[in-house]
Amino acid sequence: MLVQVAFGSVLILITTAIHAWFTAVVFRVLRMTHASTWGGRSPVTRVSLISAVVLMMFIAALLETGTWAAVYLAVGAIPDLETALYFSTVTFTTLGYGDITLDRGWRLLASFQAANGTIMFGWTTAIVMTVIHRMAAEREAPAA
């Protein structure tokens, strides 16, 4: 059990670092493109910005699920890459089909991943909503 807690804790730290890095990149890109002024731009431009943010955070989620999958493979909890990626994605998203399960020696790790995924998707939602809020605030700001 302690091994699973240790692996889970390290993986949560790694996925947090990945998510933090992507968050920083998103906000850097937003600053570089003067996204605070995008509220007054065309709807297509605003949708494009939001879509780009969602895509970047989706790539972060892919890297995070891939990291968990790599560990499942490395410890022998899952035998092949496709199954490890599938299980990792289903677990991270908390979809949990249950068609693939880990044996008793590693099943606690899956619950850590599900909790981690819930947190990461909440974080992503906060980022997307921040972008939308900034656009709306800029759009509604009185002209100076």
2-7+21-36+46-140: what CATH class?
A: mainly alpha
> Tens digit of pLDDT for each residue in 51-98?
999 999 999 999 999 999 999 999 999 999 999 999 999 999 999 888
In angstroms, the CA 102 to CA 45 distance is 45
> Tens digit of pLDDT for each residue in 1-30?
898 999 999 999 999 999 999 999 999 988
Place of tokens 């490890």: 84
Tokens at 121, concatenated:
């998707």
> Tens digit of pLDDT for each residue in 97-134?
889 999 888 999 999 999 999 999 999 999 999 888 88
The residue among 40, 44, 22, 13 whose CA lies nearest residue 128 is 22
User: Could you state, in order of their start, the residue ranges of all structural domains in the chain?
Assistant: 2-7+21-36+46-140
Q: Once rounded to an integer, what is the mean pLDDT over residues 33-57?
A: 82
141 pLDDT higher than 60: no
- pLDDT-based confidence at 140, cuts 50/70/90? low
In angstroms, the CA 96 to CA 89 distance is 9
Q: Once rounded to an integer, what is the mean pLDDT over residues 40-54?
A: 86
In angstroms, the CA 100 to CA 111 distance is 14
